[in-house]
Amino acid sequence: MSYVKNAENASVVLEIIQAIHVNARYLSEIDGATGDGDHGINMNKGFMLAKERIETGMSLAEAFKILGRTLAMDIGGSMGPIYGTLFSEFSRAMQKEEKITMQILLAALENAVEKLMNLAGAKLGDKTLIDAIYPGKEAYKKVADNNGSFNEALRALAEGAEAGKENTKNLTAKIGRAARLGERSRGFLDAGAASCCIILKTMADAMQKRMIDD
């Protein structure tokens, strides 16, 4: 069975942090088209704060826990609690596991999507990060349900999130600051979907690199 070790894999989370850091300007540019342009700055602030608190010898679950807690406690606006919830759910699903298997990550994704939808009050198609993570999770689940490999499921997660993020250009914002633009929000990417896509793609890539087959 294929798995990613939980122990001493905090570097997966450090790669996610680095990806947000290098894309901070890009994310603020996207946010600036329909919002106040602070998404990349806020995200970078929270993720860099978490980086100081994470040690490379920590487990994957411990590093996700620190990232989630830091975002929830130390970052304002709506994104702190939302991403705080995402990473805390990942940590919760993994903390008792020695091996992170395809099914463990499926449970993590499903719990996280459900919690995020409740917290944000967002449905699919509202032009939020749900439009990246939901199709990513569905694509991943399809591979898992059809006895595909963990590697294939992670690739599907990345591709599903990317397609979903791109599709936010075709959507009208229903909640958040961009909703005030109504139809004029169409034609632009959603910044939350863009950051969520970066997170999921980086996580999928980092986990594929650390995949153990036995």
Q: Which residues bind Mg ion (CB under 5 A)?
A: 31, 35-36, 38-39
Q: How far apart are CA 67 and CA 36, in angstroms?
A: 24
- In contact, 47 and 7? CB cutoff 8 Å: no
- Least distance to Mg ion, CB of residue 42, Å: 7
Helix, coil or strand: residue 130: helix
Nearest residue by C-beta to Mg ion?
Answer: 35
Nearer to Mg ion, 39 or 201 (CB): 39
Can you tell me which residue has the tokens 């459900």?
114
- Residue 49 is encoded by which pair of tokens? 């704060």
176: tokens are: 């958040």
Give min distance, CB of 130 to Mg ion, in A. Answer: 17
Smallest separation, CB 116 to Mg ion (Å):
18
Q: Are 140 and 109 in contact (CB under 8 A)?
A: yes
Comparing CB distances to Mg ion, the nearer of 35 and 46 is 35
Minimum distance of Mg ion from residue 132's CB (angstroms): 17
Task: Please state, in angstroms and rounded to a whole number, the distance separating the CA atoms of residues 79 and 125.
Answer: 18
In this structure, what token pair is assigned to residue 6? 């939980």
Kindly compute the dihedral angle of the four CA atoms of residues 11, 17, 19, 25, in this order, to the nearest 10 degrees: -160
29/38 with CB nearer Mg ion: 38
Q: Which CB, 38 or 159, lies closer to Mg ion? A: 38
Compare residues 31 and 62 and give the one whose CB is closer to Mg ion: 31
Quote the least distance from Cβ 192 to Mg ion, whole Å: 9
- In degrees, to the nearest 5, what angle opens at C-alpha 104 toward C-alphas 127 and 60? 85
At closest approach, how far in Å is the CB of 147 from Mg ion?
Answer: 42
**Helix, strand, or coil (residue 122):** coil
* Nearest-angstrom CA–CA distance, 60 and 57: 9
**For Mg ion, which is the closer residue by CB, 69 or 177?**
177
